[in-house]
Amino acid sequence: MTEKSDYIRPKRYHMIVITGAAGFIGSGLARHLNDLGYNNLVLVDDFSRADKNKNLEHKAFALQIHRNDFPGWLWEKHYFVDAIFHIGARTDTTEQNWDIFQELNLDYTKTLWELCTQHSIPFIYASSAATYGLGEKGYDDRHDLVEELSPLNPYGDSKNEFDKWALQQTKQPPNWYGLKFFNVYGPNEYHKGRMASVIFHTSRQIKATGKMKLFRSHRKDYKDGQQQRDFIYVKDVLKVMYWLYKSKPESGLYNLGTGQARSFWDLATSTFNALGKTPDISFIDTPEDIRETYQYFTEANMNKLREAGYREDFCSLEEGVADYVTNYLKEEVIY
């Protein structure tokens, strides 16, 4: 039996906090909220990279706070805050230093959870489909499966460890949602380098060479280019996050994909089409450092979100790629 905080909330000033605000999803959320009329935003990040800070151009907000200063600010100014979207995290799937994940993905998130619990603030945080590992247990966001999952890298472990910790807490924020993001793509990922979406890299390669190289399959049960992922357009992710904030369904972990796996071949072909080019696709070996932990298939079970009341359709891969490439990637426009 979980308990809610007995803290009595004073009048709120309806400030919405976004951590990781200069990043891919965080900056997109700031734009989405601005478009809906929310300008009273508190943006939290380390703001140390000029390439990431470009994502904040033309965004309206009230405050910008360094992530190290934010817990202290929240302790003192909690009565201003209507909700926290905690999107900030170390997301490099090739990083092997556990101490980094312990600090940023576990300890920091626990601190925010506890402050939100104490001050009765809704808390929406980024988990990951990386928690599912190779999918041995499927891709179902049931809480009873979390202890059985086997992530493939320290990043996935850190996300799953926090999910497990959250589910064990007897005191919780009034509403909380851990979102298991699948393969999110879309504008404002220009700074991500190797960790940017395949669509981003495909567009860059096509513009530079007219061709695209995908990873070769190293499994007999998958043909080259037929590895499949659940690709979801970032604008759909932002709609779900806002809906959770407004609708407040039952707290818990929620998958956030489309529910339909698509191949990398389909993705590359869609990108060529969006650029008005004839597909020219070849293959290279998957890099050794990620080959053993490479996911060949992911597909979110989206029943929980649908049963909670979310009714919006998700963009098809072709629709999302066309919007991303045509309106953003061609000229590297910030959303």
Residues annotated catalytic, as ranges? 155, 192
Asked if 31 and 59 touch (Cβ cutoff 8 Å), the reply is: yes
Within 8 A by CB and 6+ apart from 202, the residues are 212, 267, 268, 271, 272
DSSP 297: B
With H, G, I as helix, E, B as strand and everything else as coil, classify residue 270.
Answer: helix
* CA 86 – CA 109 distance, rounded (Å): 8
SS (HEC) of 81-108: EEEEEECCCCCCCCCCCHHHHHHHHHHH
Tell me the CB-side half-sphere exposure of residue 155, using CA atoms within 13 A: 16
Asked if 151 and 159 touch (Cβ cutoff 8 Å), the reply is: yes
The encoded tokens of residue 288 equal 């050794």
The encoded tokens of residue 166 equal 């959250």
The encoded tokens of residue 126 equal 């980024």
Within 8 A by CB and 6+ apart from 33, the residues are 16, 18, 41, 242
Angle (nearest 5°) at CA 195 between 194 and 201: 60
Q: What is the CB neighbour count within 10 angstroms for residue 178? A: 26
**For tokens 């696709």, what's the residue?**
281
Q: What is the dihedral of CA 73, 83, 145, 300, to 10 degrees?
A: -120
Asked if 298 and 257 touch (Cβ cutoff 8 Å), the reply is: yes
* CA 73 – CA 59 distance, rounded (Å): 22
